[in-house]
C-alpha cells in the first residue's frame, strides 16, 4: 500500500498494491495495521455505507459534530468521482482550504477524510458506486452541511452545468455560517 499526504497533510490518499494477470486482479482493500501506520488513526470502523449516483450528482459537503463525528475512508467500486475534503477546524493552519482527488474503480485509490473535515463528491462517469468506512454512527441531530458552491471555499468542481443536488444540499448554509470544529 502506498500512502501520500495531500496539500492538507491530514487528508491521505491510499493506493493499494494491485496484483494482476490474465485472470484479473487482486488487492488488499484494507489492512488495519498499515492503515493506522499511514494515518495515525487507531479508531475502529463501525459501519460501511454504499451509494450509487448518476453522472453530475453532487453529494455534500457533509459532516457530523459532537460525539458522533465521523472519520471516513472513501473508495469507488464502479465509475469515477471527484472527491473533496474541506478543513473546517477553526484553529488549523489549513482552515477553509480544500483538496480534491479523482477516485475510480480503475485507479483503486482511497481517500482518508478525518474528523474536522467536510466531505463531498461529484460523479464524473455515467454512474458511480462509492463505499465509505466510517468511525461514528449516523446521528441526524449531529449532521451538518456546507454549500457546495460557497465562494469563500471556491472549490473547482469538474462539471458541465449545474450539478444534481438533494434538496438538503441545495439549502446548505454558507461556510461563514457553518458550525465548525474548534480543534
Instruction: Please list the active-site residues.
Output: 62, 132
List own/partner pairs for 99-103 with CB under 8 A and 24 or more apart.
99/6, 99/7, 99/8, 99/11, 100/155, 100/156, 101/6, 101/13, 103/74, 103/75, 103/76, 103/130
- Give the integer Cα–Cα distance in Å for 139 and 154: 28
- Output the CA angle 33-13-151, nearest 5 degrees: 140
- Give the integer Cα–Cα distance in Å for 104 and 77: 7
Amino acid at each position: 500500500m502506498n500512502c501520500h499526504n495531500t496539500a492538507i497533510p491530514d487528508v491521505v490518499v491510499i493506493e493499494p498494491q494491485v496484483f494482476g494477470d490474465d485472470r484479473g486482479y487482486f488487492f488488499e482493500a484494507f489492512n488495519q495495521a498499515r492503515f493506522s501506520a499511514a494515518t495515525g488513526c487507531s479508531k475502529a470502523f463501525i459501519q460501511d455505507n454504499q451509494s450509487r449516483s448518476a453522472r453530475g450528482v453532487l453529494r455534500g459537503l457533509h459532516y457530523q459534530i459532537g460525539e458522533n463525528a465521523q472519520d471516513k475512508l472513501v473508495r469507488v467500486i464502479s465509475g469515477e468521482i471527484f472527491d473533496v475534503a474541506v478543513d473546517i477546524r477553526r484553529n488549523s493552519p489549513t482552515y477553509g482550504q480544500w483538496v480534491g482527488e479523482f477516485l475510480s474503480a480503475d485507479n483503486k485509490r482511497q481517500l482518508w477524510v478525518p474528523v474536522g473535515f467536510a466531505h463531498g463528491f461529484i460523479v464524473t462517469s455515467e454512474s458511480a458506486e462509492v463505499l465509505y468506512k466510517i468511525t461514528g454512527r449516523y446521528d441526524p441531530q449531529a449532521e451538518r452541511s456546507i454549500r457546495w458552491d460557497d465562494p469563500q471555499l471556491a472549490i473547482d468542481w469538474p462539471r458541465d452545468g449545474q450539478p444534481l443536488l438533494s434538496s438538503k444540499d441545495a439549502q446548505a448554509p454558507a461556510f461563514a455560517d457553518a458550525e465548525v470544529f474548534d480543534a
